[in-house]
Amino acid sequence: MYRIGELGDCFLLRFTNGQEKTHVLIDCGSYWNKTTSKARLNQIAADIKTQIAGDKLDVIVGTHQHNDHLSGFLHAEQIFKKQVKPEQIWLSWLDDPENKKARKIGKDYNNFLTNLRHVSKELNKTFFVGGEKTKKRVNSLLGFFGVTPNDRFNAKTNKLPADVPARAREILQKMGRKKPEYLSPGDIFNLPGITGGAVKVYVLGPPKKEDHLYKKEPRKDETFDHHLAAKGATAENLLHAMKKLTGKTKAKNSDEPFPFDEPYFNSRNLNSVESVYKRDRWRQIELDWINQAEQLALWLDGFTNNSSLVLAFEIVKTGKVLLFAADAQAGNWRSWREIKWKKKPADFNWLTLMNNTVLYKTGHHGSHNSTLAEGLNNMTHEDLVVMIPTEKSDPMVNFGKGWQMPAVNLYKELKKRSKNRIIRMDDGFSKAKAWKNLPKQPVKNKLYWEYEVRE
């Protein structure tokens, strides 16, 4: 687990079987795009080259389009392309350009993100006073998509630059020696480079059913497109109203957002009422709807997390499982219950994988909504170790109520389940007597924390 020094994810896995060796890199990114962020990611990329030591990097996994997971593939592009030279890239079915459903979702997703960027741009104008909390939260949430302050404040055209994770995904799609693989829930295959099926890979997410992908029960006639379109229309209407308030768009009759500006309100009888209304700011309600911007940004952030590619690696001889949940939220987890695993016994299901998990990379840096209780309650293996890629010095880690990473109650349960065998990106490995029960102890390095799972 690489030590990003900021909110981020980067995991290098090395599987060995006799003389055979396979390297898998899962994500590489930081929430921030500062000069120091880029320098750290380049340092990490260079170390990855050192770690594979003349061998090949067999796989890079890009889990989902958030800055804190993919930005390194943009900022350290030259190292990955010219020095590391990965064999293959694994992405989710949502990234497949030949998947019709995925293309449609992607188009609406990008339109929605574009609208939110413009909403943020309007929010940051001096006209919208009193909405500092909303501005801060919307801007911070857009940071997960790599939308920088320059994109928000200084854009000279209506078409804002592509977000960092989207550009990183495009780079990944062209980076591997082989064509990228787009994985779907229910896929099972042998890990490349390890013969005899000694290590198997299970794909759990992202879900294909919209009630899981969007975390709510849809109407029978509702599709992916309808759901995204509804959210997108709300974003467009919000942006349109904000532009009216700033005078960029001329209002038409009843579309005018202010209560006293309709033509039929221009009456002497209303003058005294209007003057009292506008005199005391606490009386005014017309800007309250701007808080919708925060809800829209949270919805898009949650949807992106829920679109995470989730992988479980099984050491077949012992059945031990390494679970990498990316930022999967509740809907993603719920969908695992319905997966029909091919060529597996009838009693095999997602809980079998949970029961045998000996290494759990926590979902979304330990957020409360990214580890399903049923899943954690079934992580009953006596060797369970938990890795949490969190950085307490990063302001995003304590971003408002419910955003603590790790969440207090979840953290207590993770400690309980693992007998306090916790490895945090910021603090390293905990002091626990239970470490002595494992064949290998964690190792500290200035760039990473290392842990070895023995067969």
Q: What are phi and psi of 182, to 5 degrees?
A: -110, 110
- Using the 8-state DSSP alphabet, how is residue 391 labeled? -
- Burial class of residue 143, CB neighbours in 10 A (0-12, 13-18, 19+): buried
Domains of the chain by residue range: 101-162+217-300
- pLDDT computed for residue 12 by the predictor: 98
pTM over 0.85: no
Helix (H) or strand (E) holding 14: strand 8-17
pLDDT in tens, the chain (455 residues): 999 999 999 999 999 999 999 999 999 999 988 899 999 999 999 999 999 988 999 999 999 988 999 999 999 999 999 999 999 999 999 999 999 988 888 877 776 676 677 667 766 664 555 566 666 667 776 777 766 655 544 444 444 445 788 899 999 999 999 999 999 999 999 999 999 999 999 999 999 987 788 764 323 332 222 443 354 445 445 555 545 544 545 544 444 444 434 444 455 565 665 565 555 544 444 445 556 666 666 666 767 888 899 999 999 999 999 999 999 988 899 899 999 998 899 899 999 999 999 999 999 898 877 888 889 999 999 999 999 999 999 887 765 544 578 888 889 999 999 999 999 999 999 999 999 999 999 999 999 999 999 98
- pLDDT computed for residue 109 by the predictor: 72
Distances from the Cα of 297 to the Cαs of 2, 77, 110, 258, 286, in angstroms? 29, 28, 13, 24, 20
**C-alpha triplet 430, 446, 20: angle, nearest 5°:** 90
Count CB atoms within 10 A of the CB of residue 361: 21
- pLDDT computed for residue 124 by the predictor: 66
Provide the 3-class DSSP secondary structure of residue 154: coil
**C-alpha triplet 18, 81, 29: angle, nearest 5°:** 85
Any bridge partners for residue 313, and if so which?
201, 322
Concatenated DSSP letters of 105-124 = HHHHHHHHHHHHHHHHHHHT
